[in-house]
Amino acid sequence: AQKITQTQPGMFVQEKEAVTLDCTYDTSDQSYGLFWYKQPSSGEMIFLIYQGSYDEQNATEGRYSLNFQKARKSANLVISASQLGDSAMYFCAMREMNSGGYQKVTFGIGTKLQVIP
């Protein structure tokens, strides 16, 4: 089974509108973390937001918020007031503790977001 599933290969959003990028995950751990990274066309990986499995509040960082629904195992990224510079690939990732006692991060295949002027 996929650990991280991103079902939207591509998304379009009008500038200044909000957009939700979907992410579901699969883990049997009680303690884990969820990340979103942005990868613009220049290729670097930019950390956006983090949600711990024990965090009761949804994480927010500026225009980014993470809609964390633990029972449904989903961690959708919401970008409010989209800007042209938000056009990029977006990766959802999960950190788990593996049997060796250390953390391992698994990435989804990404969603390509294009912001339309």
Partner 1 sequence: NAGVMQNPRHLVRRRGQEARLRCSPMKGHSHVYWYRQLPEEGLKFMVYLQKENIIDESGMPKERFSAEFPKEGPSILRIQQVVRGDSAAYFCASSPTGAGARSYNEQFFGPGTRLTVL
- Beta carbon nearer to partner 1, 25 or 37: 37
Q: Which stretch binds partner 1 (CB under 8 A): 16-24, 29-37, 68-76, 80-88?
A: 29-37
Answer yes or no whether residue 28 interacts with partner 1 by CB under 8 A.
no
Q: Which stretch binds partner 1 (CB under 8 A): 10-18, 20-28, 74-82, 106-114?
A: 106-114
Answer yes or no whether residue 7 interacts with partner 1 by CB under 8 A.
no
Strand blocks (E) in 1-117: 4-5, 10-14, 19-21, 24-25, 32-39, 46-52, 60-61, 64-69, 74-79, 88-97, 103-107, 111-116
DSSP 85: G
How many CB atoms are closer than 10 A to CB 42? Answer: 7
Tell which positions 75-94 bind partner 1, by CB under 8 A: 91, 93
Answer yes or no whether residue 37 interacts with partner 1 by CB under 8 A.
yes
Cα dist. 72→26, 42, 75, 83, 93 in Å?
10, 34, 9, 29, 16
- Taking the complex as a whole, the smallest distance from the CB of residue 18 to partner 1 amounts, in Å, to 24
Binding site for partner 1 (CB under 8 A): 31, 33, 35, 37, 43-45, 47, 50, 52, 54, 91, 93, 95, 97-98, 100-110
